[in-house]
Amino acid sequence: MPIQSEMNPTTGHPTFTLDRSAAAEYGVEDLVDSLERYLNAGIPEGGFMTSVLANDLSGAFGRADALNTLRLRKIVQYIYNYFPSSKWGSYEKIEQHLKLFQEARHD
């Protein structure tokens, strides 16, 4: 599970720190910074990772480069085990999460 460290002053929601040692064990440590920016700043992911976060297998494979095609299983396992469940699993959940930051930016 991710560690909730403090409240995000922009949204009033928790700030998350992902488990970097687990990411290294899964071979996905290069994705942690981007995933934390998505979680904590509402910065959208690219097409491949958005498909992964939406649980869209065919979209993820269709957008994956050679490396990510090979490690897609490990990426999904890491997200399943260490990512807040409310922030992934469908395009709707991604949209809801990003909307929190869009609304906060417009206030």
Segment 87-98 shows an average pLDDT of 96
Please give the helix or strand (H or E) that residue 4 lies within, else none.
strand 3-7
Burial (CB count within 10 angstroms: exposed 0-12, middle 13-18, buried 19+), residue 28: buried
pLDDT the model gives residue 13: 79
Mean pLDDT score across all residues of the chain: 91
pLDDT the model gives residue 14: 84
Contact between 15 and 8 (Cβ < 8 Å):
yes
